[in-house]
Structure 1
Amino acid sequence: MPLRPKGQRIPPLGEADAVSEALYAKRQYVYPRQVHGFFANWRVAMVFATLGVFYILPWINWGPGRQAFLIDLPNRKFNLFFWTFWPQDLFYLTAILVISALSLFLFTAIAGRLWCGYTCPQTVWTEVFLWIERRIEGDRPKQMKLAAAPWSTEKILKKGGKHVAWIAFALWTGFTFVGYFTPIRELSVSAAHLALGPWETFWILFYGFATYGNAGWLREQVCLYMCPYARFQSAMFDKDTLIISYDRARGEPRGSRKRGEDYQGKGLGDCIDCTLCVQVCPTGIDIRDGLQYQCIACGACIDVCETVMGKMGYPKGLIRYTTENEMSLGKPRKIFRPRVLFYSGLLAAIAVGLVVAVLLRVPLDIDVIRDRNSLYRESRGLIENVYTLKLMNMDTEPHTYLLSAAGLDGLSLRADRTEIAIEAGEVVELPVTLVVPPESLKSRSEAVEFRLEAIDNPRHKVVEDARFLGPGGVR
């Protein structure tokens, strides 16, 4: 969207104060009216779905004593149901982040800010805090009346009770958040005995305070001033993106009237100017002024307008999800367009690649480190190279592995042991020596490989390349 509409003049210096006031206006507290309808039901469903996953997931175990979802930073591992990922698996995390970004681009190109309206943590937790506020202080008119009233025992009890409930819910949220990094059952026992460690205490309070501040106090201010997505969302829009729009051709001019009154004879449109669409908006905007970056596409204005139109006996859809082409030019909606197909194809390719890579992943790693003190040594007519192998079992169960080497004629491996028992998640360092007859070396540097295979599961096998150096220096 252009920064300044065509033909709009630049305000002279004398109007600088007015411009500054518009840019840095004092906050007008928003009291969203509760609304019921199709999109409101979807928002409630998404609140239960997203928060249900957040609060329940850390309590699920996968196997005895193993938390199904745990980011174990001290042990440098990540449990994801029957998988365990390690720092060596950073590729998978990168792929997941790319998929998340592409999904956001795809959904935005198709239907605008669906993420903001239904699944953004700020939106979801704010819905819960608004619900608590309504349970204690009442609906919108009662909240506004209470805020304007002088301080009294009733006001102190209601305001204080609301904040106590907010803080309790925020601390529970902080506790659950830390439960994704510290086993939550151990964390709950420590909390019950008031024996939490300093870091657990800090992060519970920090995340609880962030939830309390963002969802309880800042609310729409996060969407208006702190969220970067609101600023660049228009770059992903086109004229076929579904957005919430007010049908000006049908609704204008606005005006109040009685049900059944001949309003068209008075030259009025379908909008009765009830302002309910403004009252239900969680960011306090007037959708009738056109699409604005503050709109989070929650659909509350659609629900309340549909209710009003039904009561007045008018056709529904005065405010609706539509596209710019459909609204202004009457063109049909077009979902499958180049950018959508591009995002979909790229997303599908990366997702399939990630699934295949995870399914074919071998939970075993071997790292080869050459002895830097000597490139090679001669002993009893043979050439020796010394290495240190780091063997890591990335499986959830212990295994015994067989170590071998190949790549040159007459190659033999000398080590304290070639059958190595490694516990789940354990890293074993093993010094080894490769020995080769001089006649097997065709050049100064030859390719060899180390092979590590689980005795009880041949699928757990990994091969790591290395170089064997001989007389005459390194090529």
Structure 2
Amino acid sequence: MSDKIPVQDITPVKVVDSVDLYAKREKIYTRAFTGIYRNLRVVGGGLLFLLYFGTVWLTWNGRQAVWWDLPARKFHVFGATFWPQDFVLLSALLIISAFGLFFITVWAGRIWCGYTCPQSVFTWVFMWAEKVTEGDRNQRIKLDKAPMSASKFGRKLAKHGIWVAVSLATAITFVGYFTPIRELIPDLFTLRLDGWGLFWVGFFTLATYGNAGYLREQVCIYMCPYARFQSVMFDKDTLIVSYDPRRGEHRGPRKKNADYQAQGLGDCVDCLMCVQVCPTGIDIRDGLQVECIGCAACIDACDTIMDKMDYPRGLISYTTEHNLAGQQTQVVRPRLIGYAVALLAMCSVFVYAVVERPLVELDVLKDRVLYRENEQGRIENVYTLKIMNKAQTDQTFVVKASGLPGLAYEGKREIRALAGEVLSVPVELSIDPEQLPSSTNEILFRIESVDDARIHNDADSRFIGPSVR
């Protein structure tokens, strides 16, 4: 007989429905609008387009003014030519840009995203193409729901034609900063462009077309890391696009001249215009959200409705959390001052480094033979001088060596170097052994331009001799 008591599991079986972690993108149909912030964005975008598409066509001393000549490892920026040895300047520029972004974020939130980010600028251009070819919001919704017809096909073809044209122009311009634009365009359209050139033109055309035409807000929400770490830099005094619930609630429709306050309504007429103009499809009335790029489209749309209703503007505005809570906003605060001081200091150092950077590079390589004794009984060391003329003109250089009394220089003292030329010059130094203070001695090589006294550089090395007793 078994001592075990039979046990039956009577726990109800819970059926768990499968959960799809992927949410299909819902297409956003933005409405056309007008307003001061839209005008600022149009002017700013126009200036950025002029800078981007126009700079590549400028010339300087017979060459393209801004040209990143990768095969020759030369980076021309108007009157200055930078070399791989100047890479530290690029690193410094990136750090300065990062601190500039930190500063602007602490002060005014995601204003960079809303007005100057390339993703936002090109998205607005592509949305404009949609409007001129397919109509405004309601017309586009109706068109997408309608069956395919000759009219619909023509409108879609025109839209994608503009998208491709803008994308191709963007790609050609970008590649034109690395391959002279006046050679690139004829070679491209006569199919003489090399394979790598065709690849990069095609790649950036596809990238612009896909990002601005299809991904759009998905780039801002899911792909851009800035949306994630911006909250670390925000504080209650940061300017953000916000809805004022104290003034707007409760929401509801009403007639223009109705006594809406007697009905318990606020200034928000619940027209949803702020939602319909938002490029990321959010409702700003729900509060600050990670999807908000600070473009102020909702401000322009809401102000238009407030004007029609004869209500004061500013139901949605650039404001701060302190201001919304009825408290004083501190514009000048320690963190903002800290970023400003750091940014100013780094900019000053960067400008100084660019202006004072040596236009001749000098590297000294000592021969593997430590020293030798020549026919006169003098101690000799052999060196190889690597000289790079970083100036844009040919230069004649004079080389000197110092650091030890009685040090004799044997070799070519005057060296002619073409613009951008790199030379290897053998040099021999000798000294009377009795004048050697020690077996290892510090010496200094100096190179100076005969043509321009501002061009010079120094390099340290060592003179090796026998042990001194």
Shorter-chain TM-score range: over 0.9
Flag the 1:14–1:462 CA change in 2: closer, same or farther, 3 A.
farther
| Residue among 16, 19, 24 paired with 2:22 | 24
Tell whether 2:342 aligns with 1:346. yes
Tell whether 2:445 aligns with 1:450. yes
TM-superposition CA deviations, 1:302-359 (whole Å, max 9, x none): 001011011101111110111001101x122221101000000000001011111222
| Residue among 208, 224, 232 paired with 1:211 | 208
| Residue among 130, 140, 150 paired with 2:147 | 150
The one-letter code of the counterpart of 1:358 is: V
Question: How many Å separate the matches in 1 of 2:447 and 2:86?
Answer: 19
Question: How many Å separate the matches in 2 of 1:414 and 1:185?
Answer: 48
Say which SS state the counterpart of residue 59 (structure 1) adopts.
coil
| Residue among 180, 185, 209 paired with 1:183 | 180
How far the C-alpha of 1:134 sits from its partner, in A, is 1.1
Question: How many Å separate the matches in 2 of 1:266 and 1:193?
Answer: 71
Q: Which residue of the partner structure matches residue 34 of structure 2?
A: 36
How well do the aligned residues superpose, as a CA RMSD in angstroms?
1.6
Q: Which residue of the partner structure matches residue 6 of structure 1?
A: none
| Residue among 282, 287, 292 paired with 1:285 | 282
Tell whether 2:425 aligns with 1:427. no
Is the Cα–Cα contact under 8 Å of residues 129 and 162 in structure 2 kept in the other structure? yes
Q: Which residue of the partner structure matches residue 60 of structure 2?
A: 62
Question: How many Å separate the matches in 2 of 1:170 and 1:182?
Answer: 18
How far the C-alpha of 1:93 sits from its partner, in A, is 0.9
How far the C-alpha of 1:41 sits from its partner, in A, is 0.5
How far the C-alpha of 1:169 sits from its partner, in A, is 1.6
After superposition, residues 217-366 of structure 1 pair within 5 angstroms as 217-328=214-325, 330-366=326-362
Q: Which residue of the partner structure matches residue 159 of structure 1?
A: 156
Question: How many Å separate the matches in 1 of 2:434 and 2:69?
Answer: 50
Flag the 1:39–1:17 CA change in 2: closer, same or farther, 3 A.
farther
How far the C-alpha of 1:15 sits from its partner, in A, is 11
How far the C-alpha of 1:392 sits from its partner, in A, is 0.2
How far the C-alpha of 1:37 sits from its partner, in A, is 0.5
TM-superposition CA deviations, 1:352-380 (whole Å, max 9, x none): 111112222221101111111x1111112
- The alignment's TM-score, normalised by the length of structure 2, stands at 0.94
Q: Which runs of 5+ in 1 are unaligned?
A: 1-12
Say which SS state the counterpart of residue 270 (structure 1) adopts.
coil
The one-letter code of the counterpart of 1:310 is: D
Q: Which residue of the partner structure matches residue 9 of structure 2?
A: none
Question: How many Å separate the matches in 2 of 1:41 and 1:300?
Answer: 11
Flag the 1:39–1:422 CA change in 2: closer, same or farther, 3 A.
same
How far the C-alpha of 1:29 sits from its partner, in A, is 0.3
Q: Which runs of 5+ in 2 are unaligned?
A: 1-12
Flag the 1:453–1:229 CA change in 2: closer, same or farther, 3 A.
same
Question: How many Å separate the matches in 1 of 2:103 and 2:419?
Answer: 39
How far the C-alpha of 1:16 sits from its partner, in A, is 8.0
Say which SS state the counterpart of residue 465 (structure 1) adopts.
strand
User: Percent identity between the aligned chains?
Assistant: 52
Is the Cα–Cα contact under 8 Å of residues 188 and 198 in structure 2 kept in the other structure? no
Question: How many Å separate the matches in 1 of 2:319 and 2:14?
Answer: 41
Q: Which residue of the partner structure matches residue 171 of structure 1?
A: 168
Question: How many Å separate the matches in 1 of 2:25 and 2:354?
Answer: 49
Say which SS state the counterpart of residue 64 (structure 2) adopts.
coil
Flag the 1:388–1:273 CA change in 2: closer, same or farther, 3 A.
same
Question: How many Å separate the matches in 2 of 1:16 and 1:301?
Answer: 41
Flag the 1:377–1:89 CA change in 2: closer, same or farther, 3 A.
same
How far the C-alpha of 1:56 sits from its partner, in A, is 0.8
Q: Which residue of the partner structure matches residue 87 of structure 2?
A: 90
